[in-house]
Amino acid sequence: MNDAPREQWASRMGFVLAAVGSAVGLGNMWRFPYFAAENGGAAFVFLYLLMVALVGLPIMLAEFAIGRGSKKSPIQALEYFGGPAWKPLGVLFVLGGFLILSYYAVVAGWTLRYAWQAVVAGFGGDLGAFFGQAASGPDAVGWHIAFMLVTVTIVAGGIRGGIERSAVILMPLLFFIVVGLAIFAATLPGAGAGYAFYLKMDFSAILSFRVLTEATSQAFFSLSLGMGAMLTYSSYLSRDDNMPRESVIIAGSDFLIAFLAGLMVFPLIFALGLAGDVSEDQIGALFIALPGAFGEMGAVGRPVGILFFFALLVGALTSAISLLEVVVSAIIDNWSWPRRRAALVMGVLITLAGIPSALNTNVLGVVDQIAGNLILAVGALSLAIFVGWVMPDPIGEVRKGAEGVRWLPVWRAFLRYAVPPLLTVILYFSVRSTIGMIRGLFGG
């Protein structure tokens, strides 16, 4: 049995850094720069910011209202405010966390391997072949397991001793590395060409439903929304913080790191004339073109490579921690397991569930589409309806600690009338691309 009182963050700063840690991850440093470069450059960046403000922030605040208001893990939190009919949505959240972590840890495992390689040997030789070996097969399984081991260890350490402590140390470090590397990249001869590739302004590219959908689902993924991660973290808040302000800080930091990642990645690649590798595919860009650049940069390439992959690894780790915490907190509350057992057992199950993704990148892509895209769209739409229409007094909850904030009624009106229609469109496109992808997998 687990009769211990509910854990709490030690400080406001600890909560904010943990939430930023959840948000900042592979999505920022890997997916965002590529989406932007391929879909309208600076125009995409504006569209993305707009979606963060219009749907990201309202949904984040919605998760915070449920989490802090109930002080429960997702399944019980939804039941607390909405009755038993809403429990299945909580179950979907937990399943989403389980599935996302299963493949996220595989890509994080590649990152761990590259960080290790940067430290022990640097990059040289045939990096395409190196990536091929790292990306799928027995090697990928091994590094996936290693990464999950670290994640489980930290989550088993608890909210203060594990999650908060690691975020307080790692997140400032990540920030300084990314800023430092972006400044270094600006001094390289290819910087101008890199910026041009990243940010060339093309407004015609963003006038499509596909790009709108991509921007929105990228915003959810990057901000860790739509499956109860922010809900779970805010359930460990003790005092009544100013949640509107905190959500702006968290979303702002997340955007800043994503934007800076582009300013760091493209000049590095273009400095060495490796742009040809970039356009081929997204995955290859980070794991083939960049190591190629580090390998050819001479003496500085080594420390730059180490710092880059270390930062990427830190981002992946603090995000993976939040995904596992959603599952673990639900198990602790529903089955009264002690934290360590919950972390270990769920960690093992998630590791096993990730093995198909580690053996086949097509499987990884499909699980990403279903869990990282479709489930998040369903989750975000349901959250907007739940807090907009079902939860008794969300404004009253958020107002605690934020007495001076005047626009909370606007926030709820948004959740009621604006977010659901928009997300219904997004969901429609997400369903369509999921079906297309599954058909493609079977060659149909």
- Residues forming contacts to ligand TRP in the complex (CB under 6 A) are 22-23, 25-28, 100, 221-222, 224, 227, 229, 319, 322-323, 376
Cβ at position 351, least distance to ligand TRP in Å: 17
Chain-centroid distance, C-alpha 203? 26
107 vs 363 by CB, closer to ligand TRP: 107
Cβ at position 367, least distance to ligand TRP in Å: 13
191 vs 290 by CB, closer to ligand TRP: 290
186 vs 256 by CB, closer to ligand TRP: 256
Contact 337, 327 (CB under 8 A): no
27 vs 291 by CB, closer to ligand TRP: 27
Cβ at position 222, least distance to ligand TRP in Å: 4
Cβ at position 191, least distance to ligand TRP in Å: 25
Cβ at position 443, least distance to ligand TRP in Å: 30
> How far is the C-alpha of 432 from the C-alpha of 427, rounded, in Å?
8
Cβ at position 3, least distance to ligand TRP in Å: 29
Cβ at position 312, least distance to ligand TRP in Å: 10
34 vs 130 by CB, closer to ligand TRP: 34
State the angle between helix axes of 138-156 and 301-335 in degrees (0 to 180), rounded to the nearest 10: 60
101 vs 387 by CB, closer to ligand TRP: 101
27 vs 109 by CB, closer to ligand TRP: 27
182 vs 317 by CB, closer to ligand TRP: 317
Cβ at position 97, least distance to ligand TRP in Å: 7
